[in-house]
A = this chain, B = another copy of it.
Amino acid sequence: MTLRHSFIEVEPESHFPIQNLPYGVFRPQQGEPPRIGVAIGSYVLDLAVLDEAGCFSHIPDMTGKRIFAQHTLNAFMELGREAWRATRAAITQLLDAEEPTLRDNELLRSAAFHQQSEVQMLLPVQIGDYTDFYASKSHATNVGTLFRGKENALMPNWLHLPVGYHGRASSIVISGTNVRRPNGQIKLPDSEAPSFSPSRQLDYELEVGWIIGTGNELGKPIPIHEAEDHIFGLVLVNDWSARDIQAWEYQPLGPFLGKNFATSISPWVVPLEALTPFRIPAPKQTPVPLPYLTQDSSASFDIQLEATLQTSGSEQPITITSSNYSHLYWTIAQQIAHHTVGGCNLQPGDLLASGTISGETKESRGSMLELTWRGTEPIQLPSGEERVWLADGDRLTLSGYCQGDGYRVGFGEVTGRVLAAF
């Protein structure tokens, strides 16, 4: 099969070929209302314009709703899987190199395409609830070893269920938002009492997040074999963490202020369908999980992931993590089945993040906590600087893509710069 091409030129290293077509919400110019688009090459294709031109009039449930003129993807996602599939097929056809409808309509083209560099990207979805899992075995083992010693690294429950917790939805921000170093209570090792100060241990966490497209009714669990039908797509997630605040506060109810000052996500939601060619088997699980968590399909994905750090004193970002989605022990279907098995309802726009994705090698560790082994092994940067935690002015960027034969299905990036505490 020859590779499908668009009449829009797309470099082989671009994250956004016609095979991807991720959805995002953008503002074309200051003062203009936000609308929904897909990324293609270095362009955004304005779906509200296409909709107005009648390009989606054949899709049931979409007529008259101005669904792409809305400020979030939620209403579109609520239409469900068939509508997503039909929309994706229609956009793919419209962008095809051989298809004249859009290619040869200069007026429509000039209205529908914007340069990505010229638009402002906004949060793509209204996130009702945010759940963060803890699904990388290497990450859980590293953190457990650092906090409780090697013998008790993994808690007894870890191999039996995908451990997760509720995060803070209100402080989820779009890539590019600067992140203010939080103040908080910290218990220094040599002090009797806690003190109040800016966090000294600011960290990032390299994660991937799944956007729920359609939910379930309260009290009606989602069986594991239906779990993926509820997924709209994926984003990159940086779950910024203040390790010193977290260490003091987290017992017995889990992370709170150590996490809720900011969580950054990438602007483009990559459709689950675009990842089909990159499916791989999930890791073998021992012990075999309980039946409600048992799955036999190719439930993981080969997604290369990277974190780069650029200090204010350096000209180039430096790669500090090279990881892969495949390091996750628990699959997204297992996480959804577990999340809902007691009856909890998911809703369109919910974000389910993976937790830090670390592999077994040192360079694949997805946080400073692990990379510097809780501050004992500083990262040496080419600029001569070193880091054990993030410093003010540092820019941390996550990126990721699936490598196809001659093309990439990419996530773009999620980036943020650390501002000094107030």
* A interface list, Cβ under 8 A from B: 128-129, 134, 144, 147, 155-157, 160-161, 163-171, 173, 180, 182-185, 187, 193-196, 199, 215, 218-219, 221, 242, 245, 248-257, 260-262, 287, 290-292, 338-339, 341-347, 350, 422
Distance of A44 Cα from B87 Cα, bound (Å): 46
Q: How far does the Cβ of A144 sit from chain B's closest Cβ, in whole Å?
A: 8
Question: Contacts A194-B157, A196-B292, A261-B344; is A165 near B168 (CB within 8 Å)?
Answer: no
| Contact yes or no, B252 A347, CB < 8 A | no
Question: Contacts A185-B161, A196-B290, A341-B183; is A346 near B252 (CB within 8 Å)?
Answer: no
Q: How far does the Cβ of A101 sit from chain B's closest Cβ, in whole Å?
A: 41
| Contact yes or no, B251 A168, CB < 8 A | no
Complex contacts, A199 vs chain B, CB 8 Å: 342
| Contact yes or no, B182 A342, CB < 8 A | yes
Residue of B nearest to A143 (CB): B252
| Contact yes or no, B160 A261, CB < 8 A | no
Question: Contacts A196-B292, A257-B338; is A262 near B182 (CB within 8 Å)?
Answer: no
Distance of A242 Cα from B342 Cα, bound (Å): 10
Max chain B C-beta neighbours (<10 A), residue from A248, A250, A344: A344
Q: How far does the Cβ of A385 sit from chain B's closest Cβ, in whole Å?
A: 26
Complex contacts, A287 vs chain B, CB 8 Å: 193
| Contact yes or no, A290 B128, CB < 8 A | no
Show 7 A/B contacts (Cβ-Cβ < 8 Å), sorted by A: A157-B249, A166-B167, A170-B344, A171-B345, A185-B290, A218-B262, A253-B255
Question: Contacts A170-B345, A260-B342; is A160 near B182 (CB within 8 Å)?
Answer: no
Distance of A167 Cα from B254 Cα, bound (Å): 11
| Contact yes or no, B129 A168, CB < 8 A | yes
Residue of B nearest to A165 (CB): B253
Q: How far does the Cβ of A157 sit from chain B's closest Cβ, in whole Å?
A: 6
Residue of B nearest to A177 (CB): B218
Residue of B nearest to A169 (CB): B129
Complex contacts, A291 vs chain B, CB 8 Å: 196
Q: How far does the Cβ of A295 sit from chain B's closest Cβ, in whole Å?
A: 15
Q: How far does the Cβ of A167 sit from chain B's closest Cβ, in whole Å?
A: 6
| Contact yes or no, B185 A160, CB < 8 A | yes
Max chain B C-beta neighbours (<10 A), residue from A129, A291, A347: A129
Distance of A166 Cα from B261 Cα, bound (Å): 13
* Other-chain residue from B155, B160, B180 in contact with A251 (beta carbon distance below 8 A): B155
| Contact yes or no, A254 B257, CB < 8 A | no
| Contact yes or no, A161 B249, CB < 8 A | yes
Complex contacts, A193 vs chain B, CB 8 Å: 160, 287
Question: Contacts A193-B160, A196-B292, A346-B170; is A253 near B185 (CB within 8 Å)?
Answer: no
| Contact yes or no, B168 A344, CB < 8 A | yes
Distance of A166 Cα from B249 Cα, bound (Å): 13
| Contact yes or no, A257 B344, CB < 8 A | yes
| Contact yes or no, B342 A257, CB < 8 A | yes
Q: How far does the Cβ of A248 sit from chain B's closest Cβ, in whole Å?
A: 6
Given contacts A160-B185, A184-B341, 11 further A-B contacts (CB under 8 A): A163-B249, A165-B166, A165-B253, A166-B166, A170-B347, A180-B219, A194-B290, A219-B422, A257-B338, A257-B344, A260-B342
